[in-house]
Amino acid sequence: MVFLGASALLNPLVAATINGFNIDERSVPATHLVRAAPAKDSIQAIMEPQWGDLTAGDWLADTDEVLSITMGEETRAYPLRILVWHEVVNDQFGDIPVAITYSALSGSGIAFAPGNNPDGSTRTFGVSGVLYNSCLLMYDHATESLWSQMGMASIAGEANETALELLPVRRMSWAAWKQAFPAGKVLTRETGFAVDYLGDWPYGDYAFDRATIFPFDVNRNEFSTKERVVGYVGEDAQRCWPLAKLQEKGQLYDAIGAQTIKVTYNADTGDVLVQDMTTRENLPVISCFWFAWQAFHADTSVWIPLR
């Protein structure tokens, strides 16, 4: 990854453009936008993903993680070893478009229904090279509006304040995924880019270091910066659960307003499922570092086990 030096942190760009993107129309302070890469597409999104059966993932270690998405009868795995280098995969399940996004800075893997461009065509995303709250900002290729992964909406440009629809995504080890979905498909290394996906993790020990590289809004202080939480955004409220506590508890029943939900940590797969008890549907949740969750959801409620 290519980052600018400390000057980018101390003197964030406040003009009407950043990395070539017009930010005259925006819903966040310009001073909170940080240029983290020299240009848009310095990190290149995958536009034409290629798929294989389980053997296409033989290069992965059992402990490597994947994002898993099921649409209809088909389940696909997106290895983090690939996603960390590209951050966005523009994909299609039949005639259903999906955008899969990953940010190592915030520890968040999120899937969206991308929606449509003004002309009715399917929206696709690239990587802007700009951050907000130390989190990924994508841009759409049609209007070059900026979109916040963690904010789940556009924050600048023609599409400003347009929301994205969150889709359920699971994060699990490659070993667990293979066992759970033997007929699934895995994103191959045939991305069209000359990247050594088996090389060293580009962020080193970042996930285990309390410090972040870039600044973020501090609204809450219940947990350490990079404690992993699982969060859900309801219609009227947000709630998060510390992953470590869920691992101890296993399963719990909770409520967000009038919505009753079941939260289950699956020890076999290592992921968390949140289910609406009325519809029995799995709800889209976000697994991320605490600093990112509290930066975007200052009013979140937090589940704490009774002692």
Q: pLDDT at position 232, please?
A: 96
- Which sign does the torsion angle of CA 294, 297, 299, 304 carry? negative
All residue ranges of the chain with pLDDT < 70 are 1-15, 307
pTM (predicted TM-score): 0.92
| C-alpha 290, offset from chain centre | 13
First CA to last CA distance, the chain: 43
CB 189 within 8 A of CB 79: no
Q: pLDDT at position 6, please?
A: 29
Q: pLDDT at position 305, please?
A: 78
| C-alpha 261, offset from chain centre | 22
Q: pLDDT at position 307, please?
A: 62
Q: pLDDT at position 13, please?
A: 45
Q: pLDDT at position 292, please?
A: 98
The token pair at 80 is 């983090």
